[in-house]
A and B are shown apart, each in its own frame.
Chain A
């Protein structure tokens, strides 16, 4: 059993011979995909503008002016026009993006953690635990998602926090399903059997063998949910259940500007255009990511 290689093999020398792996392959594929890169760039710009809105020397998004109501696009001082209370549209769109992106990411992130964990546990454990989790999830499935979101935030009352809770609950069931399906598939594979045969505990097996192989489909599905979340959140705000005035949020702005659609149509559709652009970019980017993450060879 003496061998020279065995004694010279160290973690350092191992690093040198390690295969490039999925990370670099993923990056290489993504680089070639112009559409996805463009969408990601737009999203980054919107996100950066929202995050650093306070430093952008914009007008006060809450400052009203009775004389400067509903100015058209291109008015000096109001480059994207003004709304029905004379507030600067550019500023409100940027600050509104802050709310909308928050509403797009928070519920999805929460749902990924909760739903993913539930689904993986259900898939790995099987049996009665699987039954209990999946049948509970099915109850939520019985409601249309918009109706469920409206019902929950209606019951909890309006406000940002409650809207996030409502949307999280709406997104958990599909994520549990996705995670459960993937976990059930992976659990039946021989390498999980082999890991069990090595005497490893359930937590270790889930962490090392299940999670990396289940995360792909979950992340891909979740990336498609961002846009849905933004739209649903806008819908809640539109119904008066999400963000409250005078706070800027794209859905809420769309609601309040609705009456001005015959006076200043181009200004009135701006929040809608932002929602549209953001969701399209999220969808295209998630499609691109899905393609880049696909099979190995």
Chain B
């Protein structure tokens, strides 16, 4: 057993039935600079009452357009931004009460999109990799052994890479280093915020396979944020579709991809590129940009772009309804109680 292995991951507390992460009504409203001195204070509702769980060992894919609150959710979970309201429960422990931030950050780590900006340009790879373990009290020599071990795990040669600076590596190599850095604290949950989006396709595939491998080897749980639906289909067990700070649809990947319920999910999936020439699409699935989160539309936030919007959609916010095993959707079309005329037919 090497020194590095004695630095063990946090133990499993709640057992397999307890979700690794439970998020309750997580909310973040960013204050917006008001136009004038006497104007009322306005806020951008970046994340608005988001609740979900991540089971142990699964991969939760999070998809949505830019600005839908995917990355803000990730940063709220890491407590890089303080949430306004809501609870985060990590393996049965309430973050901020029974589980301190420092300890949370050992158990939950994050990989960012921009592989270059995520590495300090003035530090060699070894310094970047050993930073976190040293902060957590691992002796320098042991941290060094751990760093070279981790580099091997992510498919890089420590002899070549350890002494280099970030600008001397390729994008794929840098992202592998970032993954290694996230694993240096032996976390149980890794949040991958568009971690493969900036890589070119062949490298992206390699890194995705690496992520799948590492997940098995280290018994990890992933929250995989991406705008690429195909990638989420490939890697995720469940998918969460976000729109303007809210969850539109949440359920098993196979169920969602086979039969998307929410009109937004349908539009997203229809806009996907296909390699099949027969499946060519001409109609634009969804036009324009999402509305401004400073003044989101009343009722359902998607109604301004929804082809199926009815009066009730403007009047009241849709409740989240169960449409299948573990599959929920926030749309009046599936809620018989909503008064939407078509709802009865859908259920």
Contacts and interface: CB of A to CB of B under 8 A. Distances in A.
**A and B: real partners?**
yes
Interface of A: 1-3, 5-7, 9-11, 14, 17-19, 21-22, 189-191, 193-201, 204, 208-209, 212-213, 296-297
Given A2-B2, A11-B144, A22-B122, A197 B165 contact: no
Nearest to A295: B167
Contacts of B185: 198-199
B274 to A, nearest CB: 33
30 contacts: A5-B148, A6-B145, A6-B152, A9-B148, A9-B162, A10-B141, A11-B141, A14-B163, A17-B160, A18-B124, A19-B168, A22-B122, A190-B117, A191-B117, A191-B119, A191-B120, A193-B110, A194-B112, A197-B78, A197-B105, A197-B109, A197-B110, A198-B131, A198-B135, A198-B136, A199-B135, A199-B136, A199-B185, A209-B120, A213-B120
B96 to A, nearest CB: 14
Contact of B149 (A3, A17, A19, A208): A3
Given A11-B144, A189-B117, A195-B131, 6 more contacts: A19-B163, A199-B105, A200-B131, A201-B135, A208-B131, A212-B122
A6 B148 contact: yes
B126 interface: yes
Contacts of A17: 159-160, 162-163
A213 B148 CA distance: 26
A286 to B, nearest CB: 21
B102 A199 contact: yes
A204 B135 contact: yes
Given A1-B149, A5-B159, A9-B144, A196 B2 contact: no
Contacts of B152: 3, 5-6
Contacts of A200: 131-132, 135
A198 B163 contact: no
A2 B149 CA distance: 8
A78 B131 CA distance: 63
A213 B135 CA distance: 20
Interface string B141-176: 100111011001100001110111101100000000
A10 B106 CA distance: 25
A200 B149 CA distance: 22
Contact of B163 (A5, A18, A194, A213): A18
B124 A199 contact: no
A194 B181 contact: yes
B183 to A, nearest CB: 11
Contacts of A297: 167
B76 to A, nearest CB: 12
Nearest to A13: B159
A6 B4 contact: yes
Contacts of A6: 2, 4, 145-146, 148-149, 152, 158
B65 interface: no
Contacts of B132: 195, 198-200
A7 B131 contact: no
Interface centre among A10, A198, A201, A213, by most chain B C-beta atoms within 10 angstroms, is A198
B118 interface: yes
B114 interface: yes
B85 interface: no
Contact of A190 (B109, B118, B141, B145): B118
Contacts of B102: 199
B121 A296 contact: yes
Nearest to A8: B148
Contacts of B159: 5, 9, 17
Contacts of B118: 190-191, 193-194
A198 B140 CA distance: 16
A193 B110 CA distance: 10
Contacts of B178: 194
Contact of B165 (A14, A21, A195, A209): A21
A81 to B, nearest CB: 51
A7 B144 CA distance: 10
B123 interface: yes
A279 B152 CA distance: 54
Contacts of A196: 80
A1 B1 CA distance: 9
Interface centre among A193, A194, A196, A209, by most chain B C-beta atoms within 10 angstroms, is A194
Contact of B106 (A5, A7, A189, A199): A199
B101 interface: yes
B229 to A, nearest CB: 24
Interface centre among B4, B110, B120, B145, by most chain A C-beta atoms within 10 angstroms, is B120
B256 to A, nearest CB: 29
B5 interface: yes
A21 B126 CA distance: 13
Contacts of B148: 3, 5-6, 9
A208 B131 CA distance: 9
Contacts of B153: 1
Contacts of B80: 193, 196-197
Contacts of A10: 141, 144
A271 to B, nearest CB: 42
A10 B143 CA distance: 11
Q: Which 9 A-B pairs have the closest CB atoms?
A: A198-B132, A18-B163, A190-B118, A6-B149, A199-B105, A17-B163, A212-B122, A190-B112, A199-B102
B120 A9 contact: no
B135 A296 contact: no
Contacts of A3: 2, 148-149, 152
B117 A19 contact: no
A6 to B, nearest CB: 4
